[in-house]
A and B are shown apart, each in its own frame.
Chain A
Amino acid sequence: EDQVTQSPEALRLQEGESSSLNCSYTVSGLRGLFWYRQDPGKGPEFLFTLYSAGEEKEKERLKATLTKKESFLHITAPKPEDSATYLCAVEGTSGSRLTFGEGTQLTVNP
């Protein structure tokens, strides 16, 4: 059974204070690892897909990296508008469904 664990559960940062969110996974043959952002009362918003160890993707202040056992979402010089819950999910060879972690709730204070 595919499993995803995210840490920390919650993270509070000052504006401009860089940090990283962790996503550890076990999966039967990784087809893809996905990062989403979810704002309160809304659906998850797609951010990145990573397919193989060593891969990196960037978008504005966010950079996602992947190893064989975990992924990191690095946030550089965050702003208050980056406050959201960040979700990590994996797709394994057992099917097209995504298995999600419980998310990291990020709060960036001005």
Chain B
Amino acid sequence: NAGVMQNPRHLVRRRGQEARLRCSPMKGHSHVYWYRQLPEEGLKFMVYLQKENIIDESGMPKERFSAEFPKEGPSILRIQQVVRGDSAAYFCASSSSTGPNEQFFGPGTRLTVL
């Protein structure tokens, strides 16, 4: 099954630590999106990347958050100096470069900040 893979599935960090979330897109997909789902809220777009390029980061908080999608390897969402408000489920989605923009989601990483 070549679906979207995310790891870790659960991540616990103390305030001030760094969190690194990884996403491998579906086979054949070159577009990656990150979304955040806060408790009792809907999914919110964060960033859209293609290989080695950030296309749209309009939903990304301006400080502490960064994302990359290197030529080789998974996409990484990095949160520096985590705070309790960063506790959420982070989902990665991928789509093909051709055809309709149907985005397929991974199982998510649930980040808990103590």
A contact residues vs B (CB 8 Å cutoff): 31-32, 34, 36, 42-46, 49, 51, 87, 89, 91, 95-103
Contact = CB atoms under 8 A, between A and B. Distances in A.
Contacts of B108: 42-43
Contacts of A43: 4, 6, 91, 105-108
Given A36-B105, A43-B108, A96-B33, 12 more contacts: A34-B102, A43-B91, A46-B102, A46-B103, A46-B104, A87-B42, A95-B58, A96-B55, A98-B43, A98-B103, A100-B42, A103-B42
Which A-B residue pairs are the 8 nearest by beta carbons? A43-B105, A97-B45, A102-B42, A100-B43, A44-B105, A100-B42, A43-B107, A43-B108
Interface residues on B, range: 20 to 34
Contacts, number: 61
A91 B101 contact: yes
A8 to B, nearest CB: 15
21 contacts: A31-B101, A34-B102, A34-B103, A42-B107, A43-B91, A43-B106, A43-B107, A43-B108, A44-B105, A45-B105, A91-B101, A96-B55, A97-B33, A97-B45, A97-B56, A98-B33, A98-B35, A98-B43, A100-B35, A100-B42, A103-B42
Interface of B: 4, 6, 31, 33, 35, 41-45, 48, 55-56, 58-59, 91, 95, 100-108
A49 B56 contact: no
B72 to A, nearest CB: 23
Contacts of A34: 102-103
A96 B91 contact: no
B32 to A, nearest CB: 11
Nearest to A42: B107
Contacts of A99: 45
Contacts of A91: 101
Contact of A96 (B6, B31, B41, B107): B31
A22 to B, nearest CB: 15
Nearest to B41: A102
A44 B43 CA distance: 10
Given A43-B106, A44-B91, A96 B42 contact: no
